[in-house]
Structures are given as C-alpha cells and as structure tokens.
Amino acid sequence: MSALHEQDPDIAACIARELVRQEEGLELIASENFVSRAVMEAAGSVLTNKYAEGLPGKRYYGGCVHVDDAENLARTRAKELFGAAWVNVQPHSGASANMAIYLAFLKPGDTLLGLNLAHGGHLTHGSPVNFSGLLYNAEFYGVEADGPLEGRIDMDKVREQALAVKPKLISIGASAYSRDFDYAAFRSIADEVGAFLWMDMAHTAGLIATKLLNDPLPHCHVVSTTTHKTLRGTRGGMLLLGKDYENPFGKTAPKSGRLKMMSELLDSAVFPGVQGGPLMHIIAAKAVAFGEALRPDFREYCRSVMANAKAMAAEFTSLGYRIVSGGTDNHLMLLDLTSRNVTGKVAEEALSRAEITVNKNMVPFDRNSPLVTSGIRLGTPAMTSRGLKVEDFRRIARLMDRVLSAPIDEGVAAAVRGEVHALCKAYPLYA
C-alpha cells in the first residue's frame, strides 16, 4: 500500500494499527472472519471504478463486458455452492438484501412474524428502530425460558403465534441463536396460515453450504445471507431461490403479458428498488470467496468451526457457566453471566483489556438493557480461520474465565493479554 502511505499517512496508520489489533488479539465476535489475501485483492481492485446498474448483459452503462464476466462467475459459483436455481449477488449488505425481500413480498403495514431480537433475532426482522418494524406490522416468536426446550424455539408456540397474528411473511434466522432450525416445520406452519417463508442465513451460510447444518433452500420461498460471516467472503449480501416460480402477486411483463418469475421481482427489488449501482469490486471479491468455499478444505474449515464451538461451550460449562440452551449446534454460543454477577458490558470491557474481542449480548428474558446486557456472544469462525484448534478454544475459555472472575483486576488482564499475544503469534494472520 505504498501509494496510500505516501499520499495519506493518517489513514495508512489507522489501517496499520487495525492490522496489529487483528493480528495480536483474539477475535471472538461471531459475525466476523478473516478473508484471504485473494479476496482482499479483488475487493481493492480497479473494479471499484465501474458503474454497472442492471444485470450482466442488461446494463444501463457501456463498458460492462469484464464486470459482466465477474458477476456471472459470482452467480454461477453461488448457485453451485448452495444448489440454488437463482441468486442475486448485488446486495451491498445483509440489511439491503433483507430490504429487497420486504419490497418484493410485502406492502407497508403487512404483518411479519420473526424471531424476537431479544431472543437472538436480527434488527431487520421487525425491530421497532429498523425500517422493518417501522414500515411493517412486526410480530414475534421467541425461545423457551425453561424446561426441555430452554433457549430453543418451540415449534408448537410458533404455530400458535402464526395462527393468532396471520402473518404474510414468516422469517427464520438469527444473529444469536446457537441451534439449527426445522425448516420443514416452519414451512408447514407457513402453508397453514398462507404465509411466505424466508430464511436469513447470514450467520450460518458457510455451514449450510457445506451441508453441516440443515438446508433451508428446499423449504423457503426466499433465502437471504451475508457473505462475510461463516461464508468468509468480503462484506456483502446475497439473495437466493432454491427453485424459481411464477410470482403469486399477478405481476405481468408489460409486452407479453406473461406472469413474471419471482426471481425477476427480486432482481427489480434490489435494483432499482433499494440500490443504485452495484459494487463490482465487492462482487468480484464475492466470486473469489465462493470459489474458495467450493473447495474441499472449506468443508474441513467449517467442521473445525463447529467442533471448536462445541469444545469451547463444554469448557465453559465445566467451569460453571450457563450457556443459553445448554450448548451449540453451530459456530456461536451465548454465555449467560448472571450467576457470575458480571454484566455483558463489564465483561466486554474487561476482556477487551486482555485483547479478547467479544460483544455484549442480551440473553433471552434479560433483565438488563441492550446497552448493559447479562451475556456475551462468542463465535469461532475468525480464530478457526487462523488455525486454532479444539485445545486452543478450551484454553481460551479458561483465559476468559480468569478475566471474568476478576474483571477489574489490571494485573489479571495484563497476564492474560500476554498469553493471548503468545497464542496469536503461534497462528499468524496473513503470514
């Protein structure tokens, strides 16, 4: 990055310091990962210069021949990866992919049924501070407080809630739920109440692509994702259909009068519906990441992500911590710190002094506010990308326990920080 150093040393210094932070600390934020150098090179390429509104072969700008190739590669690879009939790789982020779904399937005021944000859901699934809760009538299902399904979704309750509120769209997917979903059960509820079914697999896309978790595509009317979490690509979003179908809203093509396919409505919802020009450098970087995810070693990586999460959860449990729902089926877990008398906020700050990066997170039925919380969310994708193994994650749990047992003790933070640096040095980032 010699040009940047020369022209703008201030920004170059920010980037250099961030690289050191990423190299030296333990990254346990469940939604983060480390992309390959190849993905970064594509993301930092001359494709950022190109305007390409529209789709490959149907652009509103000239000079799109090469970006068309890149977008077609991204589309073909994504379809192969997920066994999808159709994808749109243009959403700038998970939130904009979700916005396109609302635009294609709902009218303002229609009812949506999604997982409660306070129980692990996402802002874009109907939170009152997000467009989804402001423009649509958002209703929620949640997880169980106790009993055999503690911390899990009870499908009988989802059905009761769906029958009561009669949603037009049911969303599945979460940002802090450590269990897999029963898509067939969701679909039968959606069919019973006449709702569309949407899975937002932002967190688990890599684990779904590698068939280590249940596959939503055969059951859902539409699927959205981010490309930067377990999928380990550049930041971005994507929409997918397991199979394409005629749109159920009677929308016809102007000249022929034929019913438009749902994929056409979704394409239009992305552009011109919610976005302008696509980020062609990011689309090329997505293509690179999809190519990586198609390789057998990506499946091994995802297997390790899950094994590492299970080992870490088991270690915390043996140290006396409560994990919401008792464990994890995927890449993340929610640690309830209530019995330790530490809030999520204090834990996040204390761990950060030891250079262990986590995020505070509400636990279901939390008595603390979202800015304080009673828990933290932990994920294994990023550090697994660096090569850490089961025994390392067990050790991380013990290191974290030392900090959480003495959250204001600077001596403990410093000692743990030293061990964190040594551990990270053994697994270099971008060696």
Q: Which is nearer to ligand PLP, 209 or 416 (CB)?
A: 209
88-117 binders of ligand PLP (CB under 6 A): 93-95, 98
Closest approach of ligand PLP to the CB of residue 286, in Å: 12
CA distance 229 to 222: 19
Q: Which is nearer to ligand PLP, 161 or 225 (CB)?
A: 225
**314 token code pair:** 């088991």
Q: Which is nearer to ligand PLP, 247 or 359 (CB)?
A: 359
Closest approach of ligand PLP to the CB of residue 6, in Å: 32
Q: Which residue has the tokens 């920080």?
A: 417
Q: What's the number of CA atoms in the CB half-sphere (13 Å) around residue 195?
A: 29
User: Which residue type does 41 have?
Assistant: E
N-to-C CA span, the chain: 17
- Which value, to the nearest 10 degrees, does the dihedral of the CA atoms of residues 56, 58, 59, 62 take? 90
Q: Which is nearer to ligand PLP, 64 or 333 (CB)?
A: 333
Closest approach of ligand PLP to the CB of residue 174, in Å: 6
Q: Annotated catalytic, 226? A: yes
Q: Which is nearer to ligand PLP, 95 or 358 (CB)?
A: 95
Q: Which stretch binds ligand PLP (CB under 6 A): 12-20, 38-46, 170-178, 250-258?
A: 170-178
Query: Is the omega angle on the peptide bond into residue 370 within 30 degrees of 0, that is, cis?
Result: no
User: Which residue type does 125 have?
Assistant: H
What is the distance of C-alpha 362 from the center of its chain?
Answer: 17
Q: Annotated catalytic, 168? A: no
Q: Annotated catalytic, 377? A: no
360-379 binders of ligand PLP (CB under 6 A): none
Of 157, 235, 353, 398, which is the active-site residue? 235
Closest approach of ligand PLP to the CB of residue 216, in Å: 12
Residue at shortest CB range from ligand PLP = 94
Residue 203 touches ligand PLP, criterion: CB under 6 A:
yes
The torsion region of residue 270 among left (phi > 0), alpha (psi -120 to 50) and beta comes to alpha
Give the binding-site size for ligand PLP (rule: CB under 6 A).
15
E-assigned strand segments in 290-338: 322-323, 332-336
CA distance 362 to 384: 25
Q: Which is nearer to ligand PLP, 143 or 403 (CB)?
A: 143
Rounded to whole angstroms, what are the CA distances from 95 to 18, 197, 200, 282?
25, 17, 10, 16
Q: Annotated catalytic, 373? A: no
Q: Which of 173, 216, 233, 291 binds ligand PLP (CB under 6 A)?
A: 173
Residue 202 touches ligand PLP, criterion: CB under 6 A:
yes
Q: Which is nearer to ligand PLP, 226 or 308 (CB)?
A: 226
Q: Annotated catalytic, 61? A: no
3-state secondary structure of 153: strand
The residue length of the chain stands at 431
Closest approach of ligand PLP to the CB of residue 126, in Å: 12
Closest approach of ligand PLP to the CB of residue 416, in Å: 27
Q: Which stretch binds ligand PLP (CB under 6 A): 197-205, 282-290, 300-308, 411-419?
A: 197-205
CA distance 405 to 402: 5
Q: Which of 111, 116, 124, 384 binds ligand PLP (CB under 6 A)?
A: 124
Closest approach of ligand PLP to the CB of residue 95, in Å: 3
Residue 132 touches ligand PLP, criterion: CB under 6 A:
no
CB proximity list for 349: less than 8 A, separation 6 or greater: 407
Q: Which stretch binds ligand PLP (CB under 6 A): 14-22, 168-176, 190-198, 369-377?
A: 168-176
3-state secondary structure of 26: strand
Q: Annotated catalytic, 200? A: yes
10-49 binders of ligand PLP (CB under 6 A): 31
Of 27, 71, 200, 292, which is the active-site residue? 200
Closest approach of ligand PLP to the CB of residue 101, in Å: 11
Number of neighbouring beta carbons within 10 Å of residue 244: 14
CA distance 25 to 421: 6
Helices H / strands E in the chain, number of each: 16, 15
Closest CA to 82 of 230, 180, 210: 210
Interacting residues with ligand PLP (CB under 6 A): 31, 93-95, 98, 122, 124, 173-175, 200, 202-203, 226, 237
Active site residues: 51, 53, 200, 226, 229, 235
